[in-house]
């Protein structure tokens, strides 16, 4: 399975949770983890994240993003848009590789990471054009990204 | 103060990963540690590249000093992140 396919599956699992956060049906990612109406989505997301193939795919994506980052770094002058791409490429690569390291985390911690870190970074990647071919990522929508980002920033 | 706290957190993370590697964890963790270190190095490069484009020109004395301090902090953070990434890469070889 390609990492683009894994991205799509993860995003499809996150989508009901992101939607609930966007509409205010749940006040926070922590609340979403415990909400009975989101139990199916939560379990699907956790099952997805725990697959070894998912971890391998995320690492492969991280490597590819870093290669794009290195290519962009070689350009002598960068536009503001390219600087934004540079930030998304390295930021997403770090988030993806961090996911592969979190083997000792609890289910709730994995869930929060996927909802508050992974999902917004995937959305930024789709918006800045550094990740293509991921229909589910693109379909998350700008508003969804902002809603989840706002929650992430509140947590920080 | 904040810089020291950030450094301490990064060193702690590094030690945790090295300890995990030393305790016989699987190859995936090893690979993940290497990739995370390389990705962290990319983040440090991004911060350095973006910071290099910042300028404090045209600011008045007080704002100028604050601007220079902020840029110096960013440079220091990028350096600390890059250094810890290199150490982690070395440890995960």
Q: What are the CA-CA distances from residue A116 to residues A32, A143, B20, B59, B77 (Å)?
A: 11, 14, 26, 37, 24
Residues of A with CB under 8 A from a CB of B: 52, 55-56, 59, 62-63, 66, 69-70, 73, 78, 83, 86-87, 89-91, 93-94, 96-98, 100-101, 103-104
> Chain A contacts of B32, Cβ < 8 Å?
55, 59, 97, 100-101
Q: A28-48 pLDDT, tens per residue? A: 999 999 999 999 999 999 998
Q: What is the DSSP string of chain B?
A: -HHHHHHHHHHHHHHHHHHHHHTT--HHHHHHHHHHHHHHHHHHHHHHHHHHT---TT--HHHHHHHHHHHHHHHHHHHHHHHHHHHHHHHT-
Task: At A58, list the tokens.
Answer: 């995320």
pTM reported for the whole predicted model: 0.76
3-state helix, strand and coil shares in percent for chain A, rounded to the nearest 5: 80, 0, 20
Nearest CA in chain A to B43: A90
| Opening angle at CA B91, ends B25 and B44, nearest 5 | 115
Compare CB distances from A90 to B20, B25, B43 and report the shortest one's residue. B43
Answer yes or no: do B45 and A52 touch at CB < 8 A. no
Query: Which of A94, A99, A105, A117 has the highest number of chain B CBs within 10 A, making it the mutation to test binding with B?
Result: A94
B27's tokens:
């190859």
What Rg, from alpha-carbon coordinates, does chain B have?
Answer: 17
pLDDT tens track for A53-86:
888 888 999 999 999 999 999 999 999 999 999 9
Nearest CB partner across the interface for B29, out of A69, A78, A103: A103
| Helix runs in A24-51, H state only | 29-34, 39-50
Cβ contacts of B51 on chain A, cutoff 8 Å? none
Q: Count of A–B CB contacts within 8 Å?
A: 69
Of A4-8, A21-25, B14-18, B36-40, the one with minimum mean pLDDT is: B14-18
All residues at 6 or more sequence positions from B23 whose CB lies less than 8 Å from its CB, including other chains = none
Tens digit of each residue's pLDDT, chain B (93 residues): 455 666 656 655 655 555 554 444 557 778 888 999 999 999 999 999 999 999 999 999 889 999 999 999 999 999 999 999 998 888 877
Q: How far is B39 from chain A (nearest CA, A)?
A: 5
pLDDT at residue A144 greater than cutoff 80 = no
What's CA A57's distance to the chain center, in Å? 13
A152 CB-contact burial (10 Å; exposed 0-12 / middle 13-18 / buried 19+) = middle
Distance from B2 to chain A by nearest Cα, in Å? 15
Give strand ranges (E) for A65-111. none
- A103 band by pLDDT with thresholds 50, 70 and 90: low
A78/chain B closest Cα distance in angstroms:
9
Q: Which tokens belong to A107?
A: 């289910």
Q: How many whole angstroms separate alpha carbon A43 and alpha carbon A113?
A: 14
């Amino acid at each position: 399975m390609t990492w683009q396919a894994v991205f799509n599956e993860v995003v499809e699992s996150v989508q009901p949770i992101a939607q609930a956060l966007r509409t205010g049906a749940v006040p926070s990612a922590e609340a979403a983890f415990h909400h009975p109406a989101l139990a199916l989505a939560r379990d699907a997301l956790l099952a997805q994240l725990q697959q070894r193939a998912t971890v391998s795919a995320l690492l492969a994506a991280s490597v590819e993003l870093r290669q794009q980052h290195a290519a962009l770094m070689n350009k002598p002058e960068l536009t503001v848009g390219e600087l934004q791409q540079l930030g998304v490429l390295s930021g997403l690569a770090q988030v993806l590789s961090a996911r592969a390291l979190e083997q000792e985390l609890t289910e709730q911690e994995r869930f929060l990471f996927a909802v508050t870190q992974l999902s917004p970074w995937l959305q930024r990647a789709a918006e800045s054009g550094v990740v293509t071919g991921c229909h589910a990522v693109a379909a998350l929508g700008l508003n969804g990204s902002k809603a989840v980002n706002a929650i992430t920033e509140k947590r920080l | 103060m904040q810089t020291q706290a950030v450094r301490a957190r990064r060193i702690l993370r590094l030690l945790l990963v090295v300890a995990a590697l030393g305790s016989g964890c699987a190859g995936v963790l090893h690979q993940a540690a290497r990739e995370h270190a390389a990705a962290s190095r990319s983040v440090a490069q991004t911060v350095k590249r973006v910071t290099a484009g910042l300028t404090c020109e045209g600011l008045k004395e007080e704002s100028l000093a604050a601007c220079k301090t902020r840029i110096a902090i960013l440079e220091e953070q990028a350096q600390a992140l890059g250094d810890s990434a290199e150490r982690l890469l070395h440890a995960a070889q």
